[in-house]
Amino acid sequence: MAEEKKLFGMPAEKGRWMLILLGFIINICLGSVYAYNVFGGALQKEWGLSVLEKLLPYGIFLAFFAAVFPLSGQLLEKLGPKKQGIVGGIIVALGWILVSFTHSWPQAVLTYGVIGGIGVGLCYIGPIQVATRWFPDRKGLATGLTVAGFGGSPFISTYLAQVLIKHYGIFDTFLYFGLAFLAVLLVCFWFMEFPVAGWKPAGWKPSTTAAATSTVNYDRNEVIKTPTFWALFACFAIGSTAGLMAIGIWGDIRALPIIAIGFTAAVTQFILAPFNAAGRPVLGFVTDRVGPRVAAMISFVVIFLAAVLMLTMRGSTAETDMHKVLYFVCFAAFYAGLGGWLAIAPTATAQYFGTKFSSRNYGILFLAYGVGALISTFIAGYAKSIFQGTLLDAFIPIAVLAAIGFLLAVFVLKPPKKTEAPQK
């Protein structure tokens, strides 16, 4: 019974909100990758890197983050969120600390990209699964609030990075971030735990609406045989591509002569990062209410309109206030879209395929995020030369992909046929 379980000295139905707060703090640390434009810019100046070379550690980080996820989801069932989080937290910190001793771009790719990405891949899934299991009544909202820390991280980390780089240099800044992550992640993960199987709030009954959770528990082998999974995979990859590319090049776009934002990078992120954070609980709430299909459709309409509006600046040679407004409106939309998908995807996994194997199933699905990371890196790196224009040309494939995503959501992203079959 819910009233018999205590969390942080409170009844479980109240104490479970503390787990959301700890998950939010964990994600603030993990989401510092979204401030990479500041770190990458400093490394670009230090080593004379091209745009692609500058972005590759970021892309590799996100790719390894996603690649570890299938293993991470499986390990979580054996180790639990506390043990796995502590191991992952140590690896995260190690990746950042080792960057401070690097002397070349390939070494940064290895330490920051590979080691750091693996650590985040081990850490990230735990707080999400803690949220979905303690909140069967509010999966989307709980997940969205937990991962909002990841999206909102640049709100803090961009400012801290700029201050520390200015006073101590880029390499000592990596060191200080790594030491801070070690302390915070170990403390927060110490309190992470799952409820007993079948726990639910007193009086709560599962919904029978479009957003209802499947009574069938699909395992990983069954999930990948459904059209629903592959539609969700493609939609997640597209949503990730748009958002991750925006996060990777926001600094380069704001510096274009026709935009020329006068604010500092920290102020720019102060404005944009909350949209990444807010997109998670907002679209998580929408997913709870009307289901993943409608939430996906909304996200792709927003992404498509933002990409088209960015493309209206192509060919312009004058700096105008309207260009500055479009920059903030469109990038806020991209940020919110990415944040939204990091709430839609895990919630959809539980709703469509059941909660019993959701850790492992979401681990497979999260590979789509890594696909998006690699695609976004190469779009940003090569779009200018392919279209023989400016970096704004990177939004041409984003608009096309958003249209494809919308069509997939409309025609293919539907609950599997066995959602009402007897539970395994």
Question: For 368-393, how does the pLDDT look when each residue is reduced to its tens digit (9 = 90+)?
Answer: 988 998 898 888 777 766 666 678 88
Mean pLDDT of 170-176: 96
Q: What distances in angstroms separate CA 302 from CA 326, 341, 370, one per listed residue?
A: 14, 12, 22
Question: For 265-321, how does the pLDDT look when each residue is reduced to its tens digit (9 = 90+)?
Answer: 778 878 888 888 888 788 888 988 889 999 999 999 999 999 999 999 987 888 888
Tell me the two tokens of residue 389. Answer: 């224009």
Mean pLDDT of 176-184: 97
Mean pLDDT of 110-121: 95
**Cβ atoms 112, 95 nearer than 8 A:** yes
Mean pLDDT of 330-357: 89
Q: What pLDDT is stored for residue 362 in this prediction?
A: 86
Token pair 């080792």 in the structure block, residue: 98
Q: Assess whether pLDDT exceeds 70 at residue 422.
A: no
Q: What pLDDT is stored for residue 250 in this prediction?
A: 80
Q: Assess whether pLDDT exceeds 70 at residue 215.
A: no
Mean pLDDT of 131-141: 84
CB atoms within 10 A of CB 82: 16
Q: What pLDDT is stored for residue 208 in this prediction?
A: 58
Q: Assess whether pLDDT exceeds 90 at residue 409.
A: yes
Taking the CA atoms of residue 43, residue 371, residue 237 and residue 230 in that order, the dihedral angle to the nearest 10 degrees is -170
Q: What pLDDT is stored for residue 384 in this prediction?
A: 67
Q: Selecting from 1.20.1250.20, 2.40.50.140, 2.40.30.30, 3.40.50.11540, what CATH number does the domain 2-411 have?
A: 1.20.1250.20
Lowest mean pLDDT segment, chosen from 129-143, 177-191, 198-212: 198-212
Q: Assess whether pLDDT exceeds 90 at residue 334.
A: yes
Residue type for position 163: V
Q: Assess whether pLDDT exceeds 80 at residue 331.
A: yes
Q: Assess whether pLDDT exceeds 70 at residue 102.
A: yes
Q: Assess whether pLDDT exceeds 50 at residue 9.
A: yes
Nearest to 302 by CA among 312, 290, 313, 294: 294
Tell me the two tokens of residue 149. Answer: 């820390």
Span between the terminal Cα atoms of the chain, in Å = 23
Distance CA 240, CA 242 (A): 6
Q: Assess whether pLDDT exceeds 50 at residue 420.
A: no
pTM over 0.85: no
Q: Assess whether pLDDT exceeds 90 at residue 164.
A: yes
Q: In the structure, what pLDDT confidence band is assigned to residue 160 with cuts at 50, 70 and 90?
A: very high
Q: What pLDDT is stored for residue 271 in this prediction?
A: 85
Question: For 10-68, how does the pLDDT look when each residue is reduced to its tens digit (9 = 90+)?
Answer: 887 888 899 999 999 999 999 999 889 889 989 999 999 887 888 889 889 988 998 99
| Domain range annotation of the chain | 2-411
Q: Assess whether pLDDT exceeds 60 at residue 421.
A: no
Question: For 73-96, how does the pLDDT look when each residue is reduced to its tens digit (9 = 90+)?
Answer: 789 988 999 999 999 999 999 999
Distance CA 276, CA 280 (A): 7
pLDDT over 70, % of the chain: 93
Mean pLDDT of 195-205: 80
Tell me the two tokens of residue 80. Answer: 């639990």
Lowest mean pLDDT segment, chosen from 168-172, 320-324, 402-406: 320-324
